[in-house]
């Protein structure tokens, strides 16, 4: 079997995630061992970022998001790989985690890993995407807001967020107005298509 090589260190939550990734890729990982990340682990991530680059690849659930947020706060500039929830579910045991994803889903997530940046000074929104724009687009309030955010997160490869987090994530990953508008059109087309099926 030929392994794809990943140059960056991959931050995962646990041993099972490491084993899953090493089954398909030639890679090195840093395990956080849960959502309470120690200072020494954060220092290790900082060193890895300076030396090799880092991809944060956590489970698509609340603890996984907590890990991302902590790392982004202390070590900005890491890449982030996002896996859709449905690709990470073990239906038999009702568990969620990247250890349950197949090779294709893992590869796609790593291929589209996005680099995080520190927030724009003075709380300015990146490239003009404001909270008001999200509201107008029906991503914050309305009957389809949650579904729209989920589809938008998939389309932009930034994962699912609640309404409050969406503005921050668009800023963190420097999503341009054009990228946002294009993804939104695809989401609305998909929702419209599903309604008429």
Q: Return the beta strands (E) in 13-118 as ranges.
A: 25-26, 29-31, 54-56, 79-80, 89-90, 95-96, 114-115
Neighbours of 66 (CB within 10 A): 16
Which residue ranges make up each domain of the chain? Answer: 4-115, 122-195
| 11 or 170, which is more confident | 11
Q: What integer pLDDT is reported at residue 123 of this predicted model?
A: 43
Question: Going by C-beta distance under 8 Å and a sequence separation of 6 or more, which residues neighbour residue 98?
Answer: 12, 17, 20, 21, 57, 58, 59, 83, 88, 106
Neighbours of 41 (CB within 10 A): 18
Virtual torsion, Cα 73, 166, 127, 192, nearest 10 deg: 160
pLDDT in tens, 132-180: 889 889 999 888 898 999 899 888 888 888 888 888 888 877 788 888 9
The closest alpha carbon to 9, from 41, 51, 43, belongs to 51
Predicted confidence at residue 124, as pLDDT, reads: 40
Q: What is the mean pLDDT of residues 185-191?
A: 90
Residue pair 160/153 in contact (Cβ under 8 Å)? The answer is: yes
pLDDT of 88:
87
What tens digit of pLDDT does each residue of 59-116 get? 999 999 999 999 999 999 999 999 988 888 887 888 889 999 999 999 999 998 887 7
- Cα 76 versus chain centre, distance: 14
CATH number, domain 4-115: 3.40.1360.10
Give pLDDT, residue 168: 81
Looking at residue 154, its pLDDT comes to 87
């Amino acid at each position: 079997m030929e392994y794809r090589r990943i140059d960056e260190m991959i931050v995962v939550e646990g041993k099972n995630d490491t084993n899953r990734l090493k089954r398909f890729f030639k890679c090195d990982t840093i395990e956080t061992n849960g959502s309470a990340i120690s200072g020494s682990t954060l220092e290790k991530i900082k060193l890895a970022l300076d030396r090799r680059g880092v991809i944060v690849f956590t489970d698509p659930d609340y603890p996984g998001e907590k890990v991302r947020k902590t790392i982004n706060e202390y070590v900005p500039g890491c890449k982030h790989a996002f896996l859709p929830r449905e690709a990470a579910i073990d239906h038999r045991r009702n568990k969620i985690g990247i250890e349950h994803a197949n090779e294709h889903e893992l590869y796609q997530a790593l291929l589209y890993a996005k680099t995080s940046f520190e927030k724009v000074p003075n709380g300015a929104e990146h490239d003009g995407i404001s909270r008001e724009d999200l509201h107008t687009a029906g991503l914050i309030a309305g009957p389809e807001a949650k579904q729209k955010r989920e589809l938008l997160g998939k389309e932009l490869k930034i994962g699912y967020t609640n309404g409050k987090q969406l503005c921050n994530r668009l800023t963190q990953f420097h999503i341009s107005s054009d990228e946002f508008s294009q993804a939104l059109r695809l989401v609305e087309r998909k929702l419209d298509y599903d309604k008429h099926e």
